[in-house]
Amino acid sequence: MLTRIDHIGIACFDLDKTVEFYSATYGFEVFHTEINEEQGVREAMLRINGTDDGGSSYLQLLEPVREDSTVAKWLAKNGEGVHHIAFGTADVDTDSEAIRDKGVRVLYEQPRRGSMDSRITFLHPKDCHGVLTELVTAAAPDSAGH
């Protein structure tokens, strides 16, 4: 069962300048940064708030580190802006299978590692009214170092 909005992914050309904007304008602070080699991005997670299920909601700022990454291709076509929405779930495996059974294309056969050691998969935007949708099971609080 989907429990919350885990994060909104925003593609950007310059991560440092984008972080600076969200910090100066809204007071959001960087909670976590990493380079995800598999997805070809450098990212910053800005924590917005905690939620009733013990998780949090974030803005995820994504800067491509390779021209062949999905985010780089998306930026070249669309420019900066909202890239995807991610819903939190206690069990990404079960929920992605249930959604697949409803005819929605799940992009990964098995969930993969995401930000902060989470487990993730994506749903095809053409099956989700034009919105790239991610499902996220957060890592246990101690496994991500937070």
39-94 pLDDT, tens digit per residue, is 999 999 999 987 777 778 999 999 999 999 999 999 999 999 999 999 999 999 99
Which of 39, 43, 63, 83 is catalytic? The answer is 43
Which of 39, 63, 83, 134 is catalytic? The answer is 134
CB atoms within 10 A of CB 30: 13
Known active-site residue 43: yes
Give the integer Cα–Cα distance in Å for 70 and 41: 9
Q: What is the pLDDT of residues 79-129, one digit of tens each?
A: 999 999 999 999 999 999 999 999 999 999 999 999 999 999 999 999 999
Known active-site residue 110: no
Q: 109 in helix, strand or coil?
A: coil
Cα distances (angstroms) measured from residue 46 to each of 16, 130, 134: 12, 25, 17
Helix %, strand %, coil % of the chain (to 5): 25, 40, 35
Instruction: Give which of 142, 144, 137, 146 is closest to 53, Cα–Cα.
Output: 137
